[in-house]
Amino acid sequence: MTSPPPRVRVAAYVIRRHPSPALLVFDQPAFPEAGTQVPAGGVAPGEDPERAVLREVAEETGLRGARVVRRIAVDGRPHPETGQPRLTTYLMLDAPPDGPAEWEHRVRGDGGDAGMRFACRFAPLPLAYPLADAQDAHLRRVDPHWAAPGEAAGRPDEVRPLS
């Protein structure tokens, strides 16, 4: 039996540099069990990862004006609950220089996330705790000092660095 093709995804490390380095994260107040996450989601057919990551950041957090800096890694870990195959490209983005340190965003539109509330904030780096779904696993590729305590360090066959 053939396994299904992996779901192609992106994940965003949106970094605010001033007054000190911080990572854009969010929680879902209606689903606290989901844990703290970075913006992430599927890539549409024909969409490049850079366009997809900017769309996901805007959809999930309302943040506009971020700039893609570079791709960090491609992560082949399966979905932690379903075991379904995934292929996630992690990208680093620079946050716009102005804006709030924390805010709430309600997703608009008619997609699967429509109506969901996200409590967004810039968390100081290094993180004080690991993110859901080991999403912090590649922060050390951006800056070795940004690894969270107990961070997941994917197996070599699951992660391909892009630097």
Q: Which of 12-26, 55-69, 88-102, 108-122 shows the lowest per-residue confidence on average (mean pLDDT)?
A: 108-122
Question: What is the reported pLDDT for 122?
Answer: 97
Mean pLDDT score, 139-145: 92
Q: Indicate if the pLDDT at residue 151 is higher than 60.
A: no
Matching residue, tokens 């709430």: 104
* Whole-Å CA distances, 73 to 13, 86, 119, 129, 136: 11, 13, 26, 21, 12
Indicate the residue type of 131: L
pLDDT score recorded for residue 109: 66
36 closest CA partner among 152, 153, 145, 122: 122
**Considering only the top CATH level, what class is 7-150?**
alpha beta
Q: Could you tell me the two tokens for 51?
A: 């366009």
Q: What is the pLDDT of residues 72-121, one digit of tens each?
A: 999 999 888 888 999 999 999 999 988 899 999 998 766 677 788 999 99
Q: Where are the domains of the chain?
A: 7-150
Lookup result for tokens 């107040």: 29
pLDDT value, residue 152 = 47
Helices then strands, counting H and E runs in the chain, come out as 2, 8
Instruction: Return the ∠ at Cα 149 (arms to 75 and 127), rounded to 5°.
Output: 80
Provide the pLDDT for residue 45: 93
Task: Tokens for 15, please give them.
Answer: 């970094």
